[in-house]
Structure 1
Amino acid sequence: MSIDVYLKMECSYTNELIRNVLEEENGLFNLMNSSTSNGDNILYWLEYEDIDFDMLYRLAKESNNKKILANSYCIRKGLLRKANFALFVQKYLSKRPDSILRNHYPETHILDLSHPDYLDEALNEAFELRDILQENTKEDIEPIPFILKASILDKASELFIFYTQSQLEEFFTNKYDENDDDDDSIANIREWIIQRYIKNPKLLSTYQNRKFHLRVYVIAERNLRIYVYDGILALFASLSYNNDKQSFDRLRHITNTCAQIDSQLNENDLVKEFFTLENIDNDIRLNIFEQIKLIIKDIFTGLHNEITIFQPLKNAFEIYGFDFLINENNEVYFLEANAYPDFKQTGNLLNIVIKELFQNLVQYIILPYFGYQQINKITQRKFHLVYDKQKTI
């Protein structure tokens, strides 16, 4: 019996790769033009807004022969919204002070701000940050840099590196427009996080000492197993890194591919596979990967008990893009997680990384859910199970 598939992703790069992987399975998947199906096995691979979560929750409670699987959980704001995640970490560390997150998640402060006029009040709530910013104004100390991030935006939107409260005030004053009624206006963001900026990133001379971060694909399935995919990407800035306190050049500091629009470099210079990078010993690579797996395991160990901010479903799976930074001592820091990651930033030269991600997803998650045996298709890149609610990994 075949599996009816309703596939509709806005990104053509992603949509075509998924379609190609499903069509390779010798007719096992029946790609539909409509979301209506009378079959007993149905796979919905859709944008978040197009998924019928009421139906998923209802079927998750019923006992019948119909099997439906969707590609997203409904509630996961505790992972994806930066302010919610920061609050989760604070609560988790109060219970688990020995958690790996204590030393592998940057110092983070939450700022609730609806207008620049209320910045003083917001900083009084974040008084520890306020005190550090005041210290940063003294001439006889080495100032601590911070980075501002909007809680609900991605793709490097509204990132700003600063040292003092006056710099922060200037940023908000320049960005806010009282006459701007646009729903996407910065005035509607309200929640921000401010993190201690990691000013000593790992730099590689082979790549002109350009800063980079790691994009790690994490797969959550059902209720709840977590896999880490070892097809890890290294996303590079366009220009060599420097720690100039007087200026913030996005092409030196921001490593998201979407922020490199003005870059003179080509795709192959901006996106590489982590395990093929030069100037990194294999033992160091493996140690970095172990740190990544332990951090991810601990995140979901804590989140799985926070049902108001993270609710896995037994008839769903989801792919997340986790971002990590490595410092010069090869210590790994978790930065943020994104749902529906932008796969097209991988480009055409490395699209095999994404294709094998989807092939592993079909083999280890989709087929077993519908009762089919794994195909055992050989891929160079693999899934690594790091968390299983039913077992101790």
Structure 2
Amino acid sequence: QQPRRLICFERVYLEMSSSDSEGESEKGAILKQRLQMFKSRRLTKLTEQKLVCQIIMEQDYLEYIGLAEELLARGWKIITTGLQTSHTDQDLDNNANNEILFPNVQWCSYSKAAWEAVMTGQLITNHYYMRSGIIRKSDLAVLLQTKYHDTMPKSHVGHLSSQIHKKEFIQLIHELVCDDKIWILKPGDSSNANDMHIFNQSTVGKVVEILISTSRESWKVQKYIERPLLSSGVKFHLRAWVLAVGNLKVFLHEQVIALMASKSYNLDDLEDLCVHASNHSVQERAGVQCPTSYLLQDLTEHVDSIPDIQEFNEDGKAEKVKVGGPWSTKIWQQLSKIVRRVFDCASELKHFSRVFKPLPCSFELFGMDAMVDEDGKVWLLEFNCDPDLKVFDAQWQHV
């Protein structure tokens, strides 16, 4: 922040030195020289200044991903408070015994981010201030249906802020199940399959009872993928990691994990989430050991069939295309296309600036969940903030 202020002051002083008075010109020249010397000295100090990361997160999470160790290995200093006195180095002017460390980067939970410092360019943090349009299920569905309606399974969003809205949403649900199709009801702002309900015409009554008694306002009902691609007879979904940086670069990790459900797939019991959900959190809540997961690149050895990959145009019409590379590469390319679509909508639609706003001093890691159907089409399920990296089995630690 100081060099920026210095540049502003220097411009003012240089304008003052343009006076026709010889005395004023001389003073201006001396002042300019002093400013240049001070700026040079200041930049030298900044070069010598330690890179400091403030980490405020759960200890087990830190130990798992090895964040602190990796930063230390690259010459960073780690602090766990806003300021920390180091007893190992002298300060930049060599006139004190201790060094006061101010963080350059803050790695913490969203609620602990120093947003004022981030907004003024003094600190980089691992979150975007506005990103609910991506991480909230209801907002993401609305975001994509305006431009890329075939990216997610067909979805309807309900905001039950009044009894009238609740009644209208319940009426919609009754209409959706008339053709005996299967749907999923999810809260618009939850994760880990909490309060997720799968239903059809015969079980819609339970869902209606939940909506009548709920105090939640945001809900999403989504078409259930009834013909998913299976692995040894069980469902799976893909977890991919997406990194957004600044304003705005987006990266998709080359390694993708396939997470398996714990029970064989069938449509006889829609209430058993161990059949229909492959989230590790679902298995843990049920007291079931999490099944083995696979890397996408190895998935061809474990899926029950390898469908021809189809490319879908913007009208939703399927066209078979020749895509170079192995089958897993074709799946990854579809994931990459989904990521581009999400951030294309989030950054371009002006009326969505309130739910996603890129910031130059922010970056964020998202977990993207997707599912492959029997035709080889990849469907986006959701984006999650603060993704749990523990979905990696011990054998995938190197990833």
In the TM superposition, what is the alpha-carbon distance from 1:144 to its structure 2 partner? 0.9
The corresponding residue for 1:170 is: 206
- 1:359-378 equivalences under 5 Å are none
Please give the residue correspondences for 1:228-307 in structure 2 after superposition, counting only pairs within 5 Å: 228-244=252-268, 246-261=269-284, 266-267=289-290, 269-277=291-299, 278-279=301-302, 283-305=326-348, 306-307=352-353
The answer to whether the aligner puts 1:10 opposite 2:58 as a matched pair is yes
Q: Tell me the CA shift for residue 193 of structure 1.
A: 0.3
Structure-2 residue corresponding to 1:196: 223
Between 1:277-286 and 1:298-307, the stretch displaced more is: 277-286
Amino acid at match of 2:126: N
Could you tell me how far 1:36 is from its partner in structure 2? 2.1
| Structure of larger gyration radius | 2
Between the aligned partners of 2:258 and 2:271, the Cα distance in structure 1 is: 22
Describe the SS at the equivalent of 2:176. Answer: helix
Q: CA deviation at 1:285?
A: 0.7
Counterpart of 1:84, as a letter, is: D
Query: Is the contact made by 2:170 and 2:211 (CA closer than 8 Å) also made in structure 1?
Result: no
Q: State the alpha-carbon separation in 1 of the partners of residues 238 and 287 from structure 2.
A: 21
Change (3 A) 1:11 1:331: farther
Shift of 1:119: 4.4
**What SS does the corresponding residue of 1:173 show, helix, strand or coil?**
helix
Counterpart-to-counterpart distance in 1, 2:226 and 2:332: 21
Instruction: Tell me by how many angstroms 1:131 deviates.
Output: 2.7
Q: Alpha-carbon deviation of 1:301? A: 1.0
Q: Deviations over 1:160-196 (max 9, x none)?
A: 11113x734423535876xxxxxxxxx3321100000
Alignment of structure 1 residues 35-50 onto 2, 5 Å: 35-36=82-83, 42-50=104-112
Q: Give the gaps of 5 or more residues in structure 2.
A: 1-47, 85-99, 307-324
How big is the shift at 1:30? 0.3
Alpha-carbon distance between aligned partners in 1 of 2:328 and 2:59, rounded to the nearest angstrom: 31
Listed as ranges, the matches of 1:176-215 within 5 Å are: 187-204=214-231, 208-215=232-239
CA distance in 1, matches of 2:211, 2:243: 36
1:158 alignment partner, one of 195, 198, 207? 195
TM-score scaled by structure 1?
0.73
Aligned residues: 311
8 A Cα contact 1:8 1:15, kept in partner: no
The Cα of 1:78 is off from its aligned counterpart by 0.7
- Contact 1:107/1:196 (8 A) holds in 2: yes
CA distance in 2 between counterparts of 1:247 and 1:266 reads 21
Letter in 2 for 1:284: W
Structure 2 equivalent of residue 54 of structure 1: 116
Is contact 1:213-1:326 (8 Å) kept?
yes
Q: Quick one: distance in 1 between partners of 2:62 and 2:80?
A: 17
Instruction: Give the letter aligned to residue 43 of structure 1.
Output: V
Whole-angstrom distance in 2 between the partners of 1:9 and 1:293: 29
Give SS of 1:45's match. Answer: strand
**Counterpart secondary structure, 1:261:** helix
Q: Does 1:79 align with 2:134?
A: yes
Percent identical = 24
- Relative distance call for 1:285 and 1:297 in structure 2 (3 A) is same
Q: Contact 1:115–1:176 at 8 Å: present in 2 too?
A: no
CA-based RMSD? 2.5
CA distance in structure 1 between the aligned counterparts of 2:62 and 2:155, rounded to whole angstroms? 33
| AA at the equivalent of 1:283 | P
User: How far apart are the structure 2 equivalents of 1:287 and 1:238?
Assistant: 26
Of residues 334, 340, 357, the one that matches 2:386 is 340
8 Å CA contact 2:182, 2:226 repeated in 1 = yes
Per the alignment, do residues 270 and 188 of structure 1 end up closer, same or farther by CA in structure 2, a change over 3 Å counting? farther
Deviation per residue, 1:284-319 (Å, 9 max, x gap): 111110011011111111111232210111011000
If asked which structure has higher relative contact order (CA below 8 Å, sep 6+), I would say 1
Q: Deviations over 1:59-88 (max 9, x none)?
A: 2xxxxxxx5211001100111111111221
Sort the Cα spacing of 1:36 and 1:188 in 2 relative to 1 into closer, same or farther, 3 A.
farther
SS of residue paired to 2:263: strand
Q: Which of 314, 325, 332 is equivalent to 2:360?
A: 314
Alignment partner of 1:22 is 2:46: no
Quote how far apart the aligned CAs of 1:116 are: 8.7
Task: Output the CA distance in 1 between the equivalents of 2:157 and 2:132.
Answer: 15
> CA 1:45–1:19 in structure 2 vs 1: closer, same or farther (change >3 Å)?
same
CA contact (8 A) 2:283 2:289 kept: no
Counterpart-to-counterpart distance in 2, 1:158 and 1:327? 24
Q: Deviations over 1:108-139 (max 9, x none)?
A: 00122368997433245x4xx54332x23xxx
Counterpart secondary structure, 1:248: coil
CA distance in 1, matches of 2:270, 2:366: 33
The equivalent of 1:220 in structure 2 is 244
Amino acid at match of 2:267: N
Say if 1:265 and 1:82 are closer, same or farther in 2 by CA, change over 3 A.
closer
Write the distance in 2 (CA, Å) between the matches of 1:110 and 1:168. Answer: 17
**Please, what TM-score do these two structures have when normalized by structure 2?**
0.72
Task: Structure 1 unaligned segments of length 5 or more: list them.
Answer: 60-66, 94-100, 137-142, 178-186, 354-393
